[in-house]
Chains A and B, each alone.
Chain A
Amino acid sequence: MSARISKGGRLLDPSKRLSFSFNGRNLFGFQGDTLASALLANDQVLIGRSFKYHRPRGIVSSGVEEPNALMSLGHGANFEPNRSATTIELLDGLEVISQNHLGSLEWDFGFINNFFAKIFPAGFYYKTFMQPRIAWKHLFEPIIRNAAGLGRAPSLPDEASYEHFYAHVDVLVVGAGLAGLLTTYELGKSGLNVLLVEQKHFLGGHALSGDFEVNGTPIAAWIEKTKQELANLENVQIKKNFTLVGIHDHRYLIGYENLEVAERLGQSAIRHRLWRLRTKKIVLATGAIERPLIFAGNDIPGVMLSSAALEFYKLYGISPGDRTVVVTNNDLAYLAAINLHDAGLSVPLIIDVRDSSNGDLPNLSLSKGIRIEFGKGISSVLGKKRVSGIEMCSLKGEGSVQETIPCDSVAVSGGWSSTLHLWSHCGGKLIWDYKLNTFLPNSSKAPTDENGENFIFVVGSAAGSFCPSQIPQNIKETVSTLLNDFQGVKQKTTKILIREIRYGDCDSTFVTPEGAGEKLKTKCFIDFQNDVKLSDLRLATQEGYESVEHLKRYTTLGMATDQGKLSNINGLKYLANLVGKEIEHVGTTTFRPPYTPISLGSIAGEARKGLFKPVRKTPLHFWHEANGAVWEPVGDWKRPYAYPKSNETIEQAVAREVTSTRHSLGILDASTLGKIIVSGPDAGDFLDLLYTNVMSNLKIGRCRYGLMCNENGFLFDDGVVARLSEESFLCHTTTGGAERVHSWMEEWHQTEWWGKKVFIQNVTEQYTQITLAGPKSRLLLEKLGGSNISSENFKPLDFLEGKLAEIEARIFRVSFSGELSFEIAIPSQNGVEFWQRCFEVGSKFDIIPYGTEALHVMRAEKGFIMIGDETDGTVIPQDLNLGWAVSKKKKDFIGKRAQERIFMADPCRKTLVGLSLQNSSDKIPDGAAVIIGGGGKRSNEVIGHVTSTYFSPTLNKPIAMALLKGGEKLRGKSIEIPMEFDKALKATVVDPKFYDVEGSRQND
């Protein structure tokens, strides 16, 4: 059984007992524990079920590489699935639930999958669920959806707070193991601004589990001393619980700081913090990750990495089992055997797949009387929910059992992989080292920065220095190179002495026995998290998935939360064997950020709820809100869609607003309309290039409706231009187009016509713009007083600057409703006052506010186009019968050349028409396709689509506009709009001007 031994561990504070719950059971741990060590202390060896076969699984590792120990934490708004127990610092009151079981962890009904494992090989989804089609909806999909995914999704919105944090440093050192600490110390002494980050909750990394001395000081004491010395350096900052998750172009880094413990203790308002860093240089002291060996039953709870067995023992005082068999292809695993043996636990056997090793550690083990068997392997691990023994076999051969050894834990080591994910994020290449059996950074293909220079340096075991004694020299040289790029900074090397340990070479063996047959291979797990076995990889390559990227996707090898930190290298080695290549020619899959999973909350940061996308509000927003407006989002704005009264539906409200405006007086908040002032001696010439019509000959005090096209000739914005003075024009744009048109003008001015003396200013928010529409609008303005707006003095498309009700105002006589109408621009600070004055005075004219829908209905009744409805980025003005607004005289304007292309004059282009419905109770769906109709094959051809469709309260019938091929020629003809269930609406093609065709009302 796994248990806590009385000696305790280096990280443990036995005076602080913490309680937590696992699947509802109350358990205890100590301050300094991880959730994983605390579970092992309570003999919780079975901690979860596997994803596909629901096999019992135990803790394999002690770090971020953990594939099995995924837990759900908390409940309600604090529920979080798929957290790795090995990376969670134990907290008092932590609630933990294991995952992936139907029923209890001990008795999982899903385990039935294990007996059908033969029919669930790699790619079984692709092969199995093809036929019959009907089964997809009712059988396969519900079952797969239910079984898919790790953990459960949270059911409530996350209530915690997250933030982004920005920082700049000279050098970022990643990893606070021996190499990271030494590097930081050396850089810190040189005076550089250094940030040292460590993903775990303690400093020291693997070194803290070691027994060597640095300059005569035992390692644990040396780490403590160095920590103190670094704390005294003002230019050095150390962050624990901080994972550098991504290195991006131009030395941009993403870090993830976990503040859960501080948050829980009330010391932090933030749960996770996302750091966005720029550094000059980065040092990766990211260490190495141990790989498992592969043998049948290597996933049974109780089999763990030798590094994990050592670390759980040294740091947390955990005995992984009473009897531990060690199986290895290298010398480092002997450390676990020696330590467990010295702790008084039984180590009946070390199985070494190598023929021999003359390293210091095997010799020490022998001298302690530990039995070592060279040239052997494990044929099978015995046990179901926990290891009960192993069967030893010869490494060569097919695995006939030579001896059965009872044990309750197996410490396994298949060599070490340097941790180089971050090196690869920005393009760094790797090279396979046959002696060390790991990928190492290829320094001739290093990631480069914006100056083409190396900016990532690798030290320690990440660079292949697996022996502590090699590290000081390695760091001295690396720091010296790094400092070349910091002028005037001098290296201050401290002499560091660590006794050398002789290591035997690591073997390339990774599967035991070498000749394992199919029966064993179907129990040889290579990727624990995704339940990928040797037999799956063989099947995949046999089916042609020989590229490493294809293999990954077909078998799911190396996917999900651990991203194959344990399995990738073994997978590549096996693939190399299968296809008969060397591992360096097989290549690796691409390492991408993030290095470890980060919370979605941290990515969102503060950008949640109201801050996710701030809403633009006009000065009258609060009046609308108080008067029952229902909203429509337009661009970033919120505009009143309609103002329904308590007894009205929205449709009724719109109809009332239209009717009332047409009969007496309506008032609209049009403040969102874009307003751009173009001024300067060349303003007229410049606008002539931007608009399709001529603007330079516009008279002061007059307005003109203008169109803007892009270089493709397509219409993208429209609006009324007013000439304010000889050298300044006020250009109105659509609500959504203000920013676009402004930057469009800037772009052409800066990059094409920079010689033109023009200044462009977006004044959209400086004015509250109000439309007064309806036959009584002039009466209201006269009542407000201050300006002469009589029909003789103030003609359509006139504008004047003056006063209304003592308030400064620009009055434009323009109409988008077809009624007598005035648009009034008031300085924003006076907007509310003016709006209220209009209501006070207007009550006798039955003034009502109308929203955007009434605006749309009225413009459609008049056949006026709307950008985004009648246009879709492929429509030229001529298509909309707006050819009159495209100048034939001008030598050039944006879009002119494009409109000269032959197909722009094609008589078959879709052009704008109106549709009149033969049956007035029908409603035409927006965007519906239009066909000629009348039966026959030819008549089913789609000739266009509906662009706008409304019920017109004025005409008491539905109206629509459509873009139809050869539109004008279809006038008077009937067309059909196919609907569901073989039905069709019948309509007649008419003039899109439905109401007051002569325009007598607006010109009154």
Chain B
Amino acid sequence: MLRFICPICNLPADETELTPGGEAHIQRKGPGSSDSEFYEYLFERKNPLGIHFERWLHSYGCGKWFHAARCTKTMEVFGTYKAQEVKPPRHIIDNIKKKRPNWKNE
């Protein structure tokens, strides 16, 4: 059972306290976007075997959304950060690179 540190509560939260929210950092496309842009926004997801940035909701805790960087293969967690970060912050990227020198953020 996964466990993340909720960046709002600063406490570890079991998976049973959390609700998964899929891939993080997807930019919303609204009116004015092209059909292909909108299609990508709605349906295209990465689903990597490896490092993934995810959205999680601390539903049975503070009720806040947050982001997590996790390896979907080993379940290793590289850190959590606030949902209002529009891209993974520096210290998270550094932490990933420290442990996975060959990793590239695509």
List the interface of chain A (C-beta within 8 A of B): 248-250, 252, 278, 427, 448-452, 711-712, 743, 746-747, 750-752, 754, 891-892, 896-898, 900-901
Contact = CB atoms under 8 A, between A and B. Distances in A.
B74 A896 contact: no
B83 interface: yes
B24 to A, nearest CB: 9
A897 B55 contact: no
Given A452-B76, A711-B42, A750-B64, A249 B1 contact: yes
A896 B65 contact: no
5 smallest CB-CB distances across A and B, nearest first, come from: A252-B1, A452-B76, A450-B77, A249-B75, A250-B3
A892 B31 contact: yes
A249 B2 contact: yes
A896 B33 CA distance: 11
Q: Which of A248, A747, A751, A891 has the most CB of B within 10 A?
A: A751
A448 B74 CA distance: 7
Interface string B58-77: 01000111000001001111
A751 B1 contact: no
Contacts of A278: 3
B30 interface: yes
A448 B77 CA distance: 11
A697 B3 CA distance: 45
A278 B14 CA distance: 10
Interface of B: 1-3, 14, 21, 28-33, 35, 38, 42, 55, 57, 59, 63-65, 71, 74-77, 83-84, 99
A451 B98 CA distance: 12
10 contacts: A250-B77, A448-B76, A449-B76, A450-B75, A746-B65, A747-B65, A750-B65, A897-B29, A897-B32, A901-B38
A450 B3 contact: yes
Nearest to B55: A751
A678 to B, nearest CB: 15
Contact of A712 (B33, B42, B57): B42
Contact of A898 (B2, B3, B38, B65): B38
Contacts of B83: 750-751, 754
A897 B76 contact: no
Nearest to B5: A450
Most chain A CB inside 10 Å of its own CB: which residue of B35, B75, B83, B99: B75
Contacts of B32: 897
Given A750-B64, A896-B31, A901-B35, A250 B74 contact: no
Contacts of B14: 252
Contact of B42 (A891, A892, A896, A898): A898
A252 B3 contact: yes
A892 B2 contact: no
Given A451-B76, A712-B42, A751-B83, A897 B31 contact: yes
Given A746-B63, A897-B33, A897-B38, A754 B84 contact: yes
Contacts of B71: 452
Contacts of B3: 250, 252, 278, 450
Nearest to A253: B1
A897 B29 CA distance: 8
A250 B63 contact: no
A415 B50 CA distance: 39
Contacts of A712: 42
Contacts of A752: 28
Contacts of B84: 750-751, 754
Contact of A747 (B28, B31, B57): B57
Nearest to A752: B28
A373 B70 CA distance: 59
Contact of B30 (A452, A750, A751, A892): A892
Contacts of A892: 30-31
A452 B76 CA distance: 5
Given A450-B77, A892-B30, A743 B1 contact: no
B43 to A, nearest CB: 10
A711 B33 CA distance: 13
B50 to A, nearest CB: 13
Which of B31, B35, B77 has the most C-beta atoms of chain A within 10 angstroms of its own C-beta?
A: B31
Contact of B75 (A250, A711, A898, A900): A250
A427 B31 contact: no
Contacts of A448: 74-76
A752 B2 CA distance: 26
Contacts of A427: 74
A751 B65 contact: yes
B30 A896 contact: yes
Contact of A452 (B1, B28, B74): B74
Given A252-B1, A452-B76, A746-B63, 19 more contacts: A250-B75, A427-B74, A448-B76, A450-B2, A450-B75, A452-B99, A743-B57, A747-B21, A747-B57, A750-B64, A750-B65, A750-B83, A751-B65, A751-B84, A752-B28, A754-B84, A896-B31, A901-B35, A901-B38
Nearest to B19: A743
A900 B2 contact: no
B12 to A, nearest CB: 9
A897 B31 CA distance: 5
Contacts of B28: 752
Contacts of B55: 751
A450 B31 contact: no
A668 B30 CA distance: 41
Nearest to A890: B31
A901 B33 CA distance: 11
Contacts of A711: 42
Contacts of B30: 892, 896-897
A451 B57 CA distance: 21
Contacts of B59: 743
Contacts of A891: 31
Contacts of A896: 30-31
Nearest to A248: B1
B63 to A, nearest CB: 7
Nearest to A901: B35
A941 B73 CA distance: 48
A252 B12 CA distance: 13
B65 A250 contact: no
A756 B1 CA distance: 35
A651 B65 CA distance: 47
A278 B3 CA distance: 10
- The residue in B30, B32, B65, B84 that gathers the most chain A C-beta atoms within 10 A of its C-beta is B30
A661 B33 CA distance: 50
Contacts of B42: 711-712, 898
Contacts of B2: 249-250, 450
Name, among B21, B29, B76, the residue most crowded by chain A CB atoms within 10 Å (CB to CB): B76
Nearest to A451: B76
B89 to A, nearest CB: 16
Nearest to A251: B3
A448 B76 CA distance: 8
A746 B21 CA distance: 13
A624 B21 CA distance: 39
A450 B63 CA distance: 23
A368 B78 CA distance: 63
A250 B38 contact: no
B19 to A, nearest CB: 8
A450 B79 CA distance: 10
Nearest to A426: B75
B99 to A, nearest CB: 6
A472 B38 CA distance: 64
Contacts of A250: 1-3, 75, 77
Nearest to B29: A897
A712 B84 CA distance: 23
A250 B1 CA distance: 6
A892 B33 CA distance: 12
B79 to A, nearest CB: 11
Nearest to B64: A750
**Listed residue (A250, A898, A900) with the most chain B CB atoms within 10 angstroms of its CB:** A250
A351 B30 CA distance: 80
A596 B52 CA distance: 34
Contacts of B63: 746
